[in-house]
Amino acid sequence: MPASPSQHNSTLAISPLVANRTYDTLRSTPNQPLFPSPLAANASAESPSSGNFNRSSLGNGGARSANTSDNSINNLSQAEKLRLWRHDALMQHHYKTAEYIGDKVLSLTNDPNDAFWLAQVLYSNGNYYRARQLLSKNNLDSSSVSCRYLSALCLMKLEKFDEALDIVGETNPFKSEAQHVKNLDGGIKLEASLCFIRGQIYARLNNLERAKDCFKEAILVDVKCFEAFDEMIRNNMLTPLEEWELLSLLDFQDADENGDLIKALYTTRINKYVNGDKFEDAELKLNEEYNLGENNDVLLSKADLLFMQCKFQKSLEICEKILNKDEFNFATLPTYLSCLHEIGGKNKLFYTAHRLAAHYPKHSISWLAIGIYYLSINRITEARKFFLKSSLLDPNFGQAWIGFAHTFAAEGEHEQAISAYSTASRFFPGTHLPNLFLGMQYLQMSNLILAEEYLLSSYSICTMDPLLLNELGVIYYHKNHLESAENYFTQALSVAKKIDSDSKAWQSIHANLGHVYRRLNLFPRALYCFEKVLRINNNDSNIYSAIGLIHLKLGDFNKSIENLHHALSINNNDPVAKDLMRRALEENGLSSEENHISSNGSIFFKRSNELLQLNSNTLNYQKNNVTPLFNRQKNIINNNSNTLNQSIEQRATDLINGDDSSDDDDAIMEIESE
């Protein structure tokens, strides 16, 4: 069988452990090694590039008799023995030895492969410039694909991105090949690696669209190029539907008998808003067929799903299970920190942030943890400083950018918050969250046109987020498009149930839908929605006030008074409940007769109309792979209010201009003219 072109091979094809040694000679000592290398059990006397690379079982660990091993080693040439010395020194991190012997091998053979491995030694030791100089000598980076790849890596480390792009090319030079060539040596195709580094270069040059295309090409060329897949998923370069579409295009046959395993693993990594059944099937397969149910990455996927469903305590328990095995698992920490923030675990936040800062002072996750801790104790200025530092250490760290923006939103600094969210939206085009938060900011500023534009843009990326659907409903409520508002709130409830979200996350949707039905004079439906909220949280004075108002409109003064008593027992300073109670008592004949009932049975007030408003942000709902920062919003004032007397108008103004939001995230009703 003819050898494949070098771009279809990996560096295994030129490794002395594979290409130059027999099955018998892969043992470093006559005795059975404690941890035999997988190469030791499977390498054959033939080079992998010849197509005869043996894929036998790993069970025997490559054990042979000492005599056979010694004879095979003695059959090696002088250069081959030096290569093995150099390679073992590299594996044991004896870089001076590896460099010294590697230089001698190269002088003896003048082989491009030996130049590549000497450059690998220099690169591993941080000597990027010397490695680059060695590879550029005699145009090795032009004649060898592996040398071209390593040369580009060196230039990346030296931050010479334009030169690195010149080395790898702006496009894939092997793209025009007629058919997909299978890798024969079991490694990652160098063609895929070149596509991946090309994507990294474009990302550092802020050409994110080209970077995304290169990463997609890398994983399509070779499904084993996981880093390209991880870059797209972790940095939200693809929309949820695009992620699933990419998964369907991947050729898992490149992974041989591991194809089904890799497909299941990749399935658990991608967005869980859609195709939840496929995620569950993949998780079940990994657990039952491959016994990977306790693997950290599989557990993390489950924790992310639970976090998306607002089951923060359960998600936290899984994260802690992972961190008990691997204390600084960087993939798990963002979700873990988010859960701690959601449940108020300030002590654990402090401890985790302190440990990270002590052990990883230059890692972005450390400063993210510190920022979240300061946010949890309401020290917004300090939190902002640490979020900013985290984003500077890693410009592609989405959680840090979102957290930085949230600190401005928490203080009502809308312009700065909008600027930060816009930056996050540009850096992470595949996630709907920045546009969602932009819409929420404009909603606070009463700019309904821009709020609707950004929320619809977010909706075009993700149609399965209950918080987003809730916000769209609020927009149309304020625009008096009550039928559209009802439609979005109903969709939000349907999606929340479909993704099995925690029922506490639904209460603001039920409350907002109740307000829509109240405005449509569909009072039985409104009461049904408000009663649903009370089943989840019976300590909300605003909901009792809303129920009292409906009974007041229906003329059932006793029930109105009863519910308003409940409201005032929870919050005896509630101006809305006080005013409605006064009116209910008047209508019940227990006070003055300043009000009257019209001929059609509706209640009209001379002095004021009821003041009720949807809360667009109190849905206790948070997103996966985003910092655990809840955006508290100011109230929106409806400028189309009816004429109010001075006392009621002042009460409304006081409430509107008071705290940004209740300390209880479950508060629903606020003041608005009807």
Six-digit token string for 309: 């469903």
Sign, CA torsion 232/234/240/243: positive
> Is residue 106 a contact partner of residue 114, using CB atoms and an 8 Å limit?
yes
- Span 422-438, pLDDT tens digits: 988 888 888 889 999 99
Could you count the other beta carbons within 10 Å of the beta carbon of residue 671? 22
Residue 192 has pLDDT above 80, yes or no: yes
- Span 136-179, pLDDT tens digits: 887 887 888 888 999 999 999 999 999 999 999 998 888 765 45
pLDDT at 8: 61
Rounded to whole angstroms, what are the CA distances from 18 to 26, 54, 84? 9, 10, 11
pLDDT at 5: 58
State the pLDDT confidence band at 609, using cuts at 50, 70 and 90: very low
- Span 441-486, pLDDT tens digits: 999 999 999 999 999 999 998 888 888 999 999 999 999 999 999 9
* Mean pLDDT in residue range 249-257: 87
Residue 316 has pLDDT above 80, yes or no: yes
Highest mean pLDDT of the ranges 33-42, 214-223, 554-563:
214-223
Q: Any idea what DSSP says for residue 25?
A: G
Element (H, E) at 670: strand 670-673
pLDDT at 141: 79
Residue 209 has pLDDT above 70, yes or no: yes
Nearest to 445 by CA among 424, 415, 467: 415
Q: What are the residues whose beta carbons fall under 8 Å from the beta carbon of 340, sequence distance 6 or more?
A: 316, 346, 348, 349, 352, 372, 376, 628
Tokens 């030096």 identify what position?
82
Q: Strand pairing of 596-597 and 670-673?
A: unpaired
Element (H, E) at 79: helix 78-91
* Mean pLDDT in residue range 529-556: 89
Mean pLDDT of the chain: 78
Angstrom distance (rounded) from CA 370 to CA 347: 12
Specify the 3-state DSSP secondary structure of 553: helix
Burial class (CB in 10 A: 0-12, 13-18, 19+), 359: exposed
Q: What are the residues whose beta carbons fall under 8 Å from the beta carbon of 580, sequence distance 6 or more?
A: 545, 548, 549, 552, 560, 564, 610
- Span 270-279, pLDDT tens digits: 888 888 788 8
Q: What are phi and psi of 5, to 5 degrees?
A: -60, 150
Residue 315 has pLDDT above 60, yes or no: yes
Burial class (CB in 10 A: 0-12, 13-18, 19+), 287: middle
Comparing 176 with 594, which gets the higher pLDDT? Answer: 176
> Is residue 53 a contact partner of residue 4, using CB atoms and an 8 Å limit?
no
Tokens 């998923």 identify what position?
233
Q: Strand pairing of 611-613 and 670-673?
A: antiparallel
Q: Strand pairing of 611-613 and 603-604?
A: unpaired
Sign, CA torsion 187/191/194/200: negative
Cross-strand pairs, 371: none
Residue 215 has pLDDT above 80, yes or no: yes
pLDDT at 18: 55
Residue 319 has pLDDT above 60, yes or no: yes
Q: What are the residues whose beta carbons fall under 8 Å from the beta carbon of 625, sequence distance 6 or more?
A: 234, 236, 304, 334, 335, 398, 399, 431
* Mean pLDDT in residue range 42-69: 38
> Is residue 146 a contact partner of residue 11, using CB atoms and an 8 Å limit?
yes
Stretch among 65-74, 80-89, 237-246, 651-660 having the lowest mean pLDDT: 651-660
- Span 496-538, pLDDT tens digits: 888 877 777 678 899 999 999 999 999 999 999 999 899 888 8
Comparing 241 with 644, which gets the higher pLDDT? Answer: 241
> Is residue 538 a contact partner of residue 511, using CB atoms and an 8 Å limit?
no
> Is residue 10 a contact partner of residue 186, using CB atoms and an 8 Å limit?
yes
Specify the 3-state DSSP secondary structure of 362: coil
Angstrom distance (rounded) from CA 44 to CA 225: 25
pLDDT at 77: 87
pLDDT at 13: 59
pLDDT at 332: 94
Angstrom distance (rounded) from CA 454 to CA 186: 46
pLDDT at 121: 96
Query: Domains of the chain by range and CATH?
Result: 344-454 (1.25.40.10), 464-673 (1.25.40.10)
Residue 218 has pLDDT above 90, yes or no: yes
* Mean pLDDT in residue range 625-632: 30
> Is residue 45 a contact partner of residue 30, using CB atoms and an 8 Å limit?
no
Could you count the other beta carbons within 10 Å of the beta carbon of residue 243? 21
Angstrom distance (rounded) from CA 386 to CA 1: 58
Sign, CA torsion 308/311/312/316: negative
558-588 burial: b if 16+ Cβ within 10 Å, else e: ebbbebbebbbebbeebbbbbbbbebbbbbe
Cross-strand pairs, 603: 597
State the pLDDT confidence band at 250, using cuts at 50, 70 and 90: very high
Angstrom distance (rounded) from CA 156 to CA 315: 38
Residue 616 has pLDDT above 80, yes or no: no
Could you count the other beta carbons within 10 Å of the beta carbon of residue 58? 14
Residue 377 has pLDDT above 90, yes or no: yes
* Mean pLDDT in residue range 227-255: 90
State the pLDDT confidence band at 21, using cuts at 50, 70 and 90: very low
Residue 27 has pLDDT above 50, yes or no: no
